[in-house]
């Protein structure tokens, strides 16, 4: 735990200041802490805003990654640093629900479902953000006919802050564009990854729900986002190969965390009876072979209105809110929350603390 007058060691990621420096904490706020600007050979170490640095608490040798948020020279030279999420006062942490939406393979309608679910939750009064976390083939903006000027690549390159890249989408949702062609999150170095996660942390001040549209498959970044989330939704279609791939990702979840309680969505089913039959079969198989508990969250009927909406680059819950698919998404949204007006989402251990732990393993 940080304390005023505590001695700390700083190791900046800087071409100019690339040594270890000693400083002292003289103020701790809700989400930041202020330190005396360190000296080196009698001269101030002028770390610029945005500099990432490793902070080590001398008395117990615990370390964390932080970022310089500001600097001042009056009444004395000082730096303001971001307080790591695991050290935040719990009273200051907002209860934001993180929901990862994933699939065993591409082409099952995962991104379309994410968008329409987000809009439906927004219409229900929840401030909803979508993070396009499929950094290789990000396409949420394409399906929404949006042309974002900035994306997560600009965060990683320190060109923009998270609030600079957010764009407003239809139906009241807010989008954090992923940027096609970006490297896999698992390939990011420690500094890049922590900058990305620290940026996402800012969204907790504004969001009730954050939907993470993961990439399809079993890559490290997909699995770690899944394991860190409060809720996991697995989307599949009735085709045998899609069901097999969905089971594969559920099996990986079970190998990593048997306390997970993933929810299953059957997309493009011909009837409620077909959805019920497939869901029950998948639940029976997971109950027999795995330790985690799989639950059915609902289904989305095959609906020609969906394809027409996609061709128009518009969400089907907006183009035809009374169509069967839109009604199915509404039912799914209501199952995600309790009906009473005073309901607050149940949130597990802080998302950002969990995801940092997972990526640093």
Q: Both 77 and 189 in a single domain?
A: no
- Lowest mean pLDDT segment, chosen from 76-80, 162-166, 225-229, 231-235: 225-229
Q: What's the pLDDT score for residue 197? A: 76
- Taking 50 as the threshold, does the pLDDT of residue 92 lie above it? no
Torsions phi, psi for 240 (to 5 deg): -55, -40
Mean pLDDT, the chain, whole residue set: 86
Q: Is residue 189 part of a domain?
A: yes
Q: Is residue 1 part of a domain?
A: no
Q: What's the pLDDT score for residue 25? A: 95
- Taking 90 as the threshold, does the pLDDT of residue 70 lie above it? no
Q: Both 202 and 75 in a single domain?
A: no
- Lowest mean pLDDT segment, chosen from 150-154, 215-219, 349-353: 349-353
Residue 184 or 300, more confident = 300
SS3 81: strand
Could you tell me the residue range of the domain that residue 77 belongs to? 7-88
d(CA 359, CA 188): 10
Q: What's the pLDDT score for residue 214? A: 87
Contact of 215 with 254, CB cutoff 8 Å: no
SS3 106: coil
The residue count of the chain comes to 361
Last residue of a domain, one of 71, 88, 105: 88
Which positions ≥6 away from 276 have C-beta within 8 Å? Answer: none
Q: How far is CA 119 from CA 114, 128, 214, 350, in A?
A: 9, 8, 18, 24
Across residues 83-106, what is the average pLDDT? 73
Q: Both 26 and 149 in a single domain?
A: no
- Which CATH number does the domain housing residue 49 bear? 2.30.110.10
The 10s digit of each residue's pLDDT in 173-216 is 999 998 765 555 546 666 777 777 778 888 888 889 999 998 77
Residue 87: pLDDT band with limits 50, 70, 90 = low
Q: Both 150 and 280 in a single domain?
A: yes
Q: Both 169 and 308 in a single domain?
A: yes
Q: Both 139 and 50 in a single domain?
A: no
Q: Is residue 12 part of a domain?
A: yes
Q: Both 176 and 265 in a single domain?
A: yes
Q: What's the pLDDT score for residue 20? A: 95
Q: What's the pLDDT score for residue 360? A: 63
Q: Both 52 and 159 in a single domain?
A: no
- For the chain, the domain total comes to 2
- Which CATH number does the domain housing residue 233 bear? 3.40.50.300
Angle CA 312–180–196, to nearest 5: 120
Q: Is residue 204 part of a domain?
A: yes
Which positions ≥6 away from 270 have C-beta within 8 Å? Answer: 238, 301, 302
Q: What's the pLDDT score for residue 326? A: 95
Last residue of a domain, one of 42, 68, 88: 88
Across residues 270-284, what is the average pLDDT? 97
Last residue of a domain, one of 88, 116, 136: 88
Q: Is residue 2 part of a domain?
A: no
Name the residue among 237, 188, 181, 246 with its Cα closest to residue 216: 246
Residue 350: pLDDT band with limits 50, 70, 90 = low
Q: Is residue 208 part of a domain?
A: yes
Q: Both 305 and 355 in a single domain?
A: yes
Q: Is residue 134 part of a domain?
A: yes
Which positions ≥6 away from 85 have C-beta within 8 Å? Answer: 93, 201, 350, 352, 353, 356
SS3 139: coil
- The encoded tokens of residue 191 equal 């500094």
- Taking 70 as the threshold, does the pLDDT of residue 348 lie above it? no
Q: Both 189 and 230 in a single domain?
A: yes
Residue 340: pLDDT band with limits 50, 70, 90 = very low
Q: Both 259 and 182 in a single domain?
A: yes
Q: Is residue 123 part of a domain?
A: yes
Q: Both 193 and 266 in a single domain?
A: yes
């Amino acid at each position: 735990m940080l304390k005023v007058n505590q001695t700390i060691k700083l190791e900046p990621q800087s071409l100019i200041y690339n040594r270890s420096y000693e400083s002292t904490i003289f103020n701790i706020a809700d989400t930041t802490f202020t330190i005396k600007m360190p000296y080196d050979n009698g001269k101030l170490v002028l770390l610029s805003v945005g500099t990432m640095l490793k902070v080590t608490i001398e008395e117990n040798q615990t370390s964390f990654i932080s970022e310089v948020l500001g600097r001042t020279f009056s009444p004395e030279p000082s730096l303001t640093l971001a307080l790591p999420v695991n050290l935040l006062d719990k009273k200051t942490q907002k209860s934001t629900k993180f929901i990862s939406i994933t699939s065993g393979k591409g082409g099952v309608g995962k991104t379309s479902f994410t968008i329409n679910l987000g809009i439906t939750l927004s219409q229900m009064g929840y401030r909803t953000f979508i993070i396009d976390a499929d950094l290789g083939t990000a396409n949420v903006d394409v399906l929404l006919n949006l042309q974002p000027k900035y994306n997560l690549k600009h965060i990683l390159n320190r060109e923009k802050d998270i609030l600079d890249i957010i764009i407003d989408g239809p139906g009241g949702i807010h989008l954090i564009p992923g940027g096609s062609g970006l490297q896999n999150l698992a390939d990011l170095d420690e500094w890049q990854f922590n900058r990305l996660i620290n940026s996402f942390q800012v969204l907790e001040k504004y969001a009730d729900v954050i939907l993470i549209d993961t990439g399809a498959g079993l890559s490290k970044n997909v699995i770690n986002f899944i394991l860190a989330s409060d809720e996991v939704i697995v989307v599949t279609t009735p085709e045998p190969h899609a069901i097999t791939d969905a089971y594969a990702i559920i099996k990986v979840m079970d190998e990593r965390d048997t306390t997970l309680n993933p929810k299953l969505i059957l997309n493009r089913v011909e009837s409620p009876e077909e959805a019920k039959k497939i869901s029950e079969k998948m639940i029976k198989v997971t109950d027999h072979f795995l330790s985690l508990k799989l639950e059915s969250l609902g289904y989305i009927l095959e609906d020609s209105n969906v394809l027409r909406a996609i061709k128009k680059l518009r969400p089907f819950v907006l183009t035809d809110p009374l169509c069967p698919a839109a009604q199915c998404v509404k039912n799914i949204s209501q199952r995600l929350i309790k009906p009473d007006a005073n309901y607050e989402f149940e949130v597990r251990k802080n998302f950002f603390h969990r995801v940092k732990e997972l990526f640093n393993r």
